[in-house]
Chain A
């Protein structure tokens, strides 16, 4: 079975500071990995996805994530936080054989301090 664990239900950073949201995955087969963002009162939006083409994946709004097989991790980073980044972030996993069955983590709420 596949699963993801997001470390930290709430992360708070100052505007301009580094954003680091942690995600570890469990999968018996090569995974597809995703980060989705949910802004208040909106649906989820895809930030980026990993499908084995490159271990460093760049997404929208300046976010990127690095796939580390040895650590089973797929952490999300952004060099400089902006107030508009405040949202709920979800890490998710699927597999090549079941690509559209996306399993989500419990989410990390990102707050930005002025």
Chain B
């Protein structure tokens, strides 16, 4: 049973560029959440997708957008990259079902460096 997979694992961009990160959830999961983890910090909630819609959003600007596909996989897009966007981006999948709240399964992340 494959867990959460993310791609790419590492990438380097320059300021002003755009980036797309991809995530495949754990088999059977229907919800995908994205987190940003700066060096030495805890993960910060970006947004969550369920049934192909953004359900919840953290305190991130509109430059951060996402999408969920019918097969539950997801993309995170960041436009007009800033130096401060350099971080590890984590995808987590879960089940929306009652009793499973907060039981997130994380991928190993995509390390983004903005120069």
A46 to B44, CA, bound (A): 16
Nearest-CB residue, chain A, relative to B91: A43
Interface size, chain B (Cβ < 8 Å): 27
Query: B96 to A100, Cβ gap below 8 A?
Result: yes
Which of B12-20, B79-87, B102-110 participates in binding chain A?
B102-110
Query: A44 to B101, Cβ gap below 8 A?
Result: no
Query: A103 to B101, Cβ gap below 8 A?
Result: no
Query: B90 to A43, Cβ gap below 8 A?
Result: yes
Nearest-CB residue, chain B, relative to A32: B102
Query: B43 to A104, Cβ gap below 8 A?
Result: yes
Residues in B whose Cβ lies below 8 Å from that of A44: 43, 90, 92, 104, 106
Query: B106 to A45, Cβ gap below 8 A?
Result: yes
Interface centre among B4, B58, B101, B108 (most CB of A within 10 A): B101
Chain A interface size, under 10 / 10 to 19 / 20 to 34 / 35 or more = 20 to 34
A54 to B105, CA, bound (A): 23
Residues in A whose Cβ lies below 8 Å from that of B55: 100
A103 CB to nearest B CB, Å: 6
Nearest-CB residue, chain A, relative to B106: A43
Query: A46 to B103, Cβ gap below 8 A?
Result: yes
The reply to whether the CB of B74 lies closer than 8 angstroms to some CB of chain A is no
Query: B56 to A101, Cβ gap below 8 A?
Result: yes
User: Could you list 10 examples of A-B contacts with CB < 8 Å?
Assistant: A43-B108, A45-B106, A46-B104, A90-B43, A96-B101, A101-B45, A102-B102, A104-B43, A106-B41, A107-B40
Residues of B within 8 A of A (CB): 4, 31, 33, 35, 40-45, 48, 55-56, 58, 90, 92, 94, 96, 101-109
Residues of A within 8 A of B (CB): 32, 34, 36, 41-46, 49, 51, 90, 92, 94, 96, 98-107
